[in-house]
Amino acid sequence: MPPIPVDHQTALVSRLMKACGGAYSAETRRKYFISGPQWAAAYQGQALFHAPTRPPIGFEDIIHKFAEIGIGHWTTHDTDVIPTEALGTPEQWEIVDRIKRALNDHGLKCSMVTTETFFHAVWAASPAAEAPGVREYAKFRVCNTVEIGHELGAGFTVYWPGSLGYYVQGAIDETDSLRWYADALNAACQRDIEVAKRKGRPALKHCLEAKPFEPQAEILLPTSDAMLAFIASGLLTHPEMVGLNPEYLHELMWGAAPRAALARALLAKKLFHFDINDGYRLKHDVDIGVGLVNPLDWLNVLVLLRSHHYEGPFNLDYKPPRTTSHFGVFEVSFPTSVDRFITLWEMAGEVSADPIIKQATDALRAGGPVRSTDDAEDLTRANRELLTLHELIAHRLFQILIGQHRGRVFFT
Ligand code: XLS
Ligand code: MG
Ligand code: MG
């Protein structure tokens, strides 16, 4: 193939996107509680060893593009849209008004707002720093986010503590830091109760998000399970208002089975919100689009969530790769992420309705005839052949994933 002229390249991308087929309409996409983060769309490709590869883009354009794609909800950090120095000032409320207008004009809703407690130098010693002034500032920031959330009509607020941890050992007392961090959450819940009452709105759902590594060397609340323990620790004045926003990759990063982590959150009735993406075990936070690395695991995650009637949002917290252009972010990256999610969600429905999986599961639950439950040998013999069904179910899930259950065949 000869070199492709630069001014022909976007047309080529669009033609191949069409040729891929399998795209859902914007109307279908809007039926799902899928949210698009401001920061994901605005991510310019920068990192410690990476210069940006894309130009900046503001919320007006992003909201417009999300509307075209059919992403019905928008989420943001406070400082994604409001400069740090304008937080809490009249300028903040002017920006919030502009956001409201953009959302209204394009028929989107703001579902979640979150506080940035990791980027600015003020958080160098974490939002629960020793210096009382920094901790007061952290309270101001989370309370201010609660106010913005109510103003934008959000139902959720998320806390990824970010820099709650340390680089060097022994300089902080972890129990003090956790108490101080709880103080900020307590202030946010208290403010929420007041604002909700004043505005006649339901209170927000406050969701903690764990990440095992980054941006500190050691993290005080590294996993969703650690956060469940923190919620139940007695430090929170309103534990009933606080739940989890697990992120798929953050659980995978520490080596967990994300589906098991989600199951534990479901059992605790704390699965409020879910950040969806993909990546690799024991690596950094690569935030790849949902289903591109672990589609089989993703299918199984969605089977669990469908069968337990999870109704919260699916927040597309991924990062369009640096190789994807500014044009590609909205032509390829966002629509394909949404579509892979919907396809996997539909497949999860097929798994739940599949007669083979159903019969195999029923048979496993019935077990074999047992003479005595005290007799290990007898119990083993009674179930020996049935247990082969575990692998048969796994094979069937693979068939569903690649469409063989619908007659897709491969010829040699
Ligand atoms: C970072 C987190 C972040 C949160 C919101 O790793 O995923 O994007 O979701 O602060
Ligand atoms: Mg996240
Ligand atoms: Mg991540």
DSSP 28-76: HHHTS-EEEEHHHHH--S-BTTB---S----HHHHHHHHHHHT--EEEE
Phi and psi at 361, nearest 5°, equal -65, -45
* pLDDT score of 180: 98
Q: H/E element holding 307? A: helix 295-307
Residue 81, both tokens: 């849209």
Specify the pLDDT at position 50: 95
With a CB cutoff of 8 Å and minimum separation 6, the contacts of 92 are: 82, 86, 144, 148
Distance from Cα 220 to the centre of ligand 3, integer Å = 17
Nearest Cα residue to atom 7 of ligand 1: 317
Average predicted confidence (pLDDT) for the chain = 97
> 35, 316 in Cβ contact below 8 A?
yes
> Strands of 274-275's sheet, edge to edge?
242-244, 205-208, 156-159, 109-114, 73-77, 34-37, 314-315, 274-275
pLDDT > 70 in the chain, percent: 100
Q: Which long-range contacts (CB under 8 A, 24 or more apart) does 356-361 make?
A: 356/392, 356/396, 357/393, 357/396, 357/397, 360/389, 360/392, 360/393, 360/396, 361/389, 361/393
Q: Pick the atom of ligand 1 nearest to 285's CA.
A: 6
pLDDT at 355: 98
Is 80 annotated in the active site?
A: yes
**Alpha-carbon span 238 to 191, nearest angstrom:** 12
What's the CA gap between 105 and 63, in Å, rounded? 9
pLDDT band at residue 216 under the 50/70/90 scheme: very high
CB proximity list for 277: less than 8 A, separation 6 or greater: 247, 248, 249, 287, 288, 289, 290, 316, 317, 318
Are 231 and 270 in contact, with CB atoms under 8 Å apart? yes
**pLDDT given at position 336:** 98
The kind and range of the H/E element at 343 are helix 334-353
Residue of 77, 150, 206, 250 with catalytic role: 77
Range 75-90 average pLDDT = 98
The residue nearest atom 5 of ligand 1, judged by CA position, is 160
Does residue 229 contact residue 244 with C-beta atoms inside 8 Å?
Answer: no
Q: What sign for the dihedral angle of Cα 251, 256, 258, 260? A: negative
Residue tagged 């976007």 (tokens): 10
Whole-number Å distance, alpha carbon 100 to ligand 1 midpoint, is: 23
Residue 156 is inside which H or E element, if any?
Answer: strand 156-159
Query: pTM value?
Result: 0.96
Average pLDDT over residues 235-250: 98
Interval 99-126 mean pLDDT: 98
Mutational pocket test of ligand 1: of 35, 117, 123, 211, the residue with most ligand atoms within 8 Å of the beta carbon: 211
**Is residue 412 over pLDDT 90?**
no
Best residue among 209, 211, 248 to mutate for probing ligand 1, ranked by most atoms within 8 Å of CB: 209
Query: What confidence score (pLDDT) does residue 410 get?
Result: 85
Q: Looking at ligand 1, which atom is closest to the CA of residue 160?
A: 10
Task: Let me know if 77 is a catalytic residue.
Answer: yes
- How high is the pLDDT of residue 257? 98
Is the pLDDT at 271 greater than 90? The verdict is yes
Are residues 109 and 119 in contact, defined by beta-carbon separation less than 8 angstroms? Answer: no
Pocket of ligand 1 (CB under 6 A): 77, 114, 158, 160, 209, 211, 247, 275, 285, 317
Question: How far are the Cα atoms of 30, 44, 75, 220 from residue 338, in angstroms, in the given order?
Answer: 10, 20, 15, 33
Evaluate if residue 411 carries a pLDDT over 80: no
Q: What is the CA radius of gyration of the chain?
A: 23
Cα(111)–Cα(34) distance, integer angstroms: 9
Phi-psi region of 34 (alpha: psi -120 to 50; beta: other; left: phi over 0): beta
Statement: residue 300 has pLDDT above 80? yes
Q: Which helix (H) or strand (E) holds 165?
A: strand 165-166
Cα of 335 to ligand 1 centre, how many Å? 21
Q: To the nearest whole percent, how much of the chain has pLDDT over 90? A: 98
pLDDT (average), residues 319-331: 98
Q: Kindly give the distance from the C-alpha atom of residue 257 to the centroid of ligand 2, in angstroms, as a whole number.
A: 17
200: left (phi over 0), alpha (psi -120 to 50) or beta: left
